[in-house]
Homo-oligomer: A and B are copies of this chain.
Amino acid sequence: MTVEAAVDLSPLREHLEDAGVDAYLVDADGDDSDQRYVSGFTAPDPFQTLVTDDAIHLLVSGLEYGRATDESAADTVTRRSEYDYTELVAEHGAHEGKARTVAAFLEDHGVDSVSVPRTLPTGTADGLREQGIDVVLESEGIVEEIRAVKSEAELEAIRASQRANEAAMARAEELIAEADVADDGTLLVDGDPLTSERVKEEIEVTLLRHGCGLDDTIVACGADGADPHSRGSGPLEADQLIVIDIFPRNKETGYHADMTRTFARGEPGVEARRRYEVTRDAYEAALEAVEAGVTGAEVHDAACDVIEGAGYDTLRSDPDAETGFIHSTGHGVGLDVHEQPSVSPVGDELEVGHVISIEPGIYDPEVGGVRIEDLVVVTEDGYENLTDYHLF
């Protein structure tokens, strides 16, 4: 059974009652975090999970049946062949055949109306509607809300990913610290420029050695670092700010971590140093504000207060700002690297067990970028920091 299995789906069941539908239906593969969370199962091809008022039912291919029976959180697992899938596809084609199979699965469980996530494929929704099933959208993101509060097992999985992250960050820091500096300021390793790409490769290899993968890493120097969405490229330079943001995912558990540090080799200058100090003060003020019952918006305001107080723009002081603090203070982290809750102007009340990043930053192409990010879990009267990596 996966880490997230056997979770409390009662808010989803209250929704079913309020909406007057029989069940909640997910049709997705295991890359879909809601699917993985609700079913406690992951598979490369789409499968169907049905949450009724008292059970979870899975519909899978014959290939996945054994593993689904062993590993999933479902009360029942049924093979598609039970509903004559192959015959229905032969008679009605792949799409209508699938719709008829899923409709038979629903009927078998006494379901003729379903609530579905907004991401359900239109082909599935329209196909079921043609089979007489009432399909209504669940627009509040109830499963995402449930996912936001982490169990102890989920926290353990996130801690493990953050340990891998710390090892990768240490390797990156070491590469920058030990590089030679060419006359033109370029960092060199064994005579070759130390590039963003090279540091990312070392980060990724270190993560792999710790059981984690990732699609993307940010190692952004100078003006690159002033664009919060740039991944960075090319040679790293002395006397420049270097933003490193790593967000790995454990290959087994699927849970992410997230951390950012800003480095400089040599002397980045007085203004860069001042921005680093202000960002660090904003990060500390935001952390100070975190506790259950406080809203994500209030935590974001705490960071904005410090940064605006030091004379820099934020999106709060100027919604069109292109320099200064031009993103949110944080986001939830779990099966998705960006999930609920939001630590931004629209952030709702934080709850015990929410895992959030706290990551203020200050950006300007003239000076470069600074960002400092830790990952914390919200507690009754504050937070526990899941990150163990030094600041400067």
Contact = CB atoms under 8 A, between A and B. Distances in A.
Nearest to A216: B44
A209 B205 contact: yes
Interface string A209-224: 1000101100000000
A121 interface: yes
A213 B229 CA distance: 21
Contacts of A124: 118, 122
A126 B121 contact: no
B123 A121 contact: no
A121 B215 CA distance: 24
A109 interface: no
Interface in A43-73: 44, 63-64
Interface in A116-132: 116-126
Interface in A13-46: 44
Nearest to A201: B208
A255 to B, nearest CB: 15
A204 interface: yes
A119 B121 contact: yes
Contacts of A120: 121-122
A233 to B, nearest CB: 11
A137 B123 contact: yes
Count class of interface residues, chain A: 20 to 34
| Oligomer: number of copies | 2
A123 B95 contact: no
A241 to B, nearest CB: 21
Contacts of A274: none
Nearest to A43: B229
A273 interface: no
Contact of A95 (B44, B116, B139, B251): B139
A135 interface: yes
Contacts of A209: 201, 205
Contact of A116 (B122, B139, B204, B213): B122
Interface in A93-137: 95, 116-126, 135, 137
Contacts of A213: 204, 213, 215
A213 B248 CA distance: 13
A201 B251 CA distance: 11
Interface in A156-207: 201, 204-205
Nearest to A119: B121
Given A122-B122, A213-B213, 12 more contacts: A116-B122, A117-B123, A118-B122, A119-B121, A121-B121, A121-B122, A122-B137, A123-B137, A123-B139, A201-B208, A208-B208, A215-B251
25 contacts: A63-B229, A95-B118, A116-B122, A117-B123, A118-B121, A118-B122, A118-B123, A118-B124, A119-B122, A119-B123, A120-B121, A121-B121, A121-B122, A122-B122, A122-B124, A122-B137, A123-B137, A123-B139, A125-B126, A126-B137, A204-B213, A205-B205, A205-B208, A205-B209, A208-B208
Instruction: Give the 7 A-B residue pairs with the shortest CB-CB distance, closest first.
Output: A118-B123, A122-B125, A120-B122, A119-B121, A122-B122, A204-B208, A205-B205
